[in-house]
Structure 1
Amino acid sequence: MGNLYETRREHLTAYLAQNDIGAVMITAPANVYYYTGFNSDPHERFMSLIINVSTDQTYLFVPALDKDAALQEADIATIISISDEEVPLEVVSKSIGKLSKTVGIEAKNLSYDRYISLLAHFPDVEVVDVQPFVNKQRMKKSAEEIEKLSDAIRIIEKVLKEGIKKVKIGMSESELTGELEFLMRKFGADGPSFSTIVLSGEKAALPHGSPGERTIQRGDYLLIDFGVVKDGYCSDITRTFIIGEASEKQKEIYDIVLQSNEAGIQAVQEGVSLKTFDIAARNVIHQNGYGDYFNNRVGHGLGIEVHEEPSIHQNNEQLAEAGLVFTIEPGIYIPNVGGVRIEDIVYINEDGNAEVLTTFPKQLQVL
Structure 2
Amino acid sequence: MTDVTIVSEKLEQAGAVLADYDVDAWITFGRETSDIAEPVLPLLLGEDFVWPGMVLITQDDERIVLCETHDADTIRSVGLHEVFSYENSLERVFREVIESIDPDTIAINYSKSNNTADGLSLGLYRLLEEYVDGASVEATFESSEPIINRVRGTKSDTELKRIQCSVDISLEILETMRNAWRPDWSEADVAEFVHEEVESRGLSTAWHADVCPAVDAGSQAEWGHAKPSALRLPEGEVLHLDFGVVYEGYASDMQRLYYRPVDGNSTIPTGLQSAFEDVRAAIQAGFETLRPGIQGHEVDTAARETLTDRGWPEFQHGFGHQVGRNVHDGGTYLGPRWERYGDTPTKDVLEGQVFTLELGIETEWGYLGQEEMVVVRADGAEYLTAPQTSIELLEE
**Matched residue, 2:239:** 222
CA distance in 2, matches of 1:167, 1:322: 39
1:275-331 CA distance string (max 9 Å, x none): 343222222210221124x12111111222222222112444544443222111121
Unaligned 5+ runs, structure 2: 31-36, 111-117, 263-267, 338-344
Contact kept? 1:310, 1:326, Cα under 8 Å: no
Unaligned 5+ runs, structure 1: 83-89
**Matched residue, 2:353:** 324
Counterpart of 1:359 in 2: which secondary structure? coil
Question: Quick check: 1:236 aligned with 2:253?
Answer: yes
Letter in 1 for 2:355: F
CA distance in 2, matches of 1:34, 1:228: 20
**Matched residue, 2:43:** 34
Letter in 2 for 1:221: V
Change (3 A) 1:300 1:365: same
CA distance in 2, matches of 1:359, 1:74: 40
Of 85, 93, 96, the residue aligned with 2:94 is 96
Of 174, 194, 200, the residue aligned with 1:160 is 174
Question: Quick check: 1:298 aligned with 2:326?
Answer: no
Q: 1:363 Cα deviation (Å)? A: 0.6
Of 2, 5, 8, the residue aligned with 2:13 is 8
Of 185, 205, 220, the residue aligned with 1:192 is 205
Counterpart of 2:367 in 1: which secondary structure? strand
Of 229, 245, 256, the residue aligned with 1:212 is 229
Question: Quick check: 1:282 aligned with 2:304?
Answer: yes
1:239-259 CA distance string (max 9 Å, x none): 122334465543332222122
Counterpart of 1:310 in 2: which secondary structure? coil
| CA-based RMSD | 3.7
CA distance in 2, matches of 1:60, 1:167: 54
CA distance in 2, matches of 1:26, 1:224: 39
Contact kept? 1:239, 1:362, Cα under 8 Å: no
Q: 1:217 Cα deviation (Å)? A: 3.6
Q: 1:51 Cα deviation (Å)? A: 0.9
CA distance in 2, matches of 1:112, 1:234: 29
Q: 1:160 Cα deviation (Å)? A: 1.1
Contact kept? 1:349, 1:355, Cα under 8 Å: yes
Q: 1:182 Cα deviation (Å)? A: 2.3
Counterpart of 2:302 in 1: which secondary structure? helix
Contact kept? 1:344, 1:356, Cα under 8 Å: yes
Counterpart of 2:391 in 1: which secondary structure? coil
Contact kept? 2:23, 2:107, Cα under 8 Å: no
**Matched residue, 1:349:** 377
Letter in 1 for 2:374: V
Counterpart of 2:318 in 1: which secondary structure? coil
**Matched residue, 2:385:** 358
Contact kept? 2:241, 2:257, Cα under 8 Å: yes
Counterpart of 1:175 in 2: which secondary structure? helix
The 10-residue stretch of structure 1 (95-104 or 265-274) with the greater mean CA deviation from structure 2? 95-104
**Matched residue, 2:334:** 312
**Matched residue, 1:59:** 65
Of 145, 150, 155, the residue aligned with 2:164 is 150
CA distance in 2, matches of 1:339, 1:288: 17
Q: 1:214 Cα deviation (Å)? A: 3.2
Question: Quick check: 1:50 aligned with 2:55?
Answer: yes
Change (3 A) 1:267 1:103: closer
Letter in 2 for 1:50: V
1:3-49 CA distance string (max 9 Å, x none): 52431342355468x3455x51255544222223x166x8xx66754
Question: Quick check: 1:141 aligned with 2:170?
Answer: no
